[in-house]
Amino acid sequence: MRLCGAGHFPQGIDETNFLRKTNPRNPNIMDVMREVSYAEKAGTGFDKIFTALLSKGKNLPKSIQNEHSIIFRVDADVYSEKLAELSHEFKQITGTDIDLEKLLVINCIYTEKKQTFQQLEANPFVNQYQLRRILKELQEIEFIETTGKTSGVKYIIHKNKLASTEDKISYSKLKKQEKARQIEAIIRYLDSADEIDNEAARKLLNLADSDVSYVSRLFAEMIEKDFVEIAREIKHNQRTYKIKK
């Protein structure tokens, strides 16, 4: 389907910001139309179109500007059944329809597989001012989760929402990459330090105290791969590790 509008984008509006900015060609006519309830709030038309498309797993409209008009092309094909499933599940959980701001964030994360906060913030359609709140709310209902630590944190679709084999493989790869980075960080630390224990490793990797078992398993894997060996063991679960020579 194609939606056509005569002329070009109004001044200050382009294909990257038309969802966020408005500039009526004739503000006076627009004011009159609003007064008699013939026009809605500026920008609500695109909001409704974007929400309807994303909630059904369809692509966002693509704008094409030629010499005489602007054409918005809307594809009928469903490209992401997962997005449609999440939209339906959101309503089951909260009792309300998912809003456009959350849909745009989920769409970015699902399409790109993983996104940093900065990457999401740079997306022209994502609401930069509400992004932290949106991410927090999506994490609370386990629609998304994080992988990596501190500056390397990336947002991914929560493992509980992955249904297809392809999605699960992608998730597994991301987690393996995260573990590989953690192992590399420990090895780099041991290049300049003689030993490291569980507590020091948690601080190095910016992990919580509750992750003590995870770090123990990480060291066990490193021992199995001959990366490190036990340097000293005071008592059970109080070990220090060093590079295996």
Judge if 2-73 and 178-243 fold alike in CATH terms: no
Contact indicator for 242, 190 with CB cutoff of 8 Å: yes
Residue range 186-202: mean pLDDT, rounded: 92
pLDDT score recorded for residue 38 = 67
Say which CATH architecture domain 81-161 belongs to: Orthogonal Bundle (1.10)
CATH number belonging to domain 178-243? 1.10.10.10
Cβ atoms of residues 75 and 66 within 8 Å: no
What does the domain layout of the chain look like in residue ranges?
Answer: 2-73, 81-161, 178-243
pLDDT band for position 190 (cuts 50, 70, 90): very high
Both tokens assigned to 131? 């992004």
CB count in 10 Å sphere of residue 235 = 6
Domain 2-73 sits in CATH at 3.30.565.60
Using the predicted structure, report yes or no on whether residue 17 has a pLDDT greater than 70: no
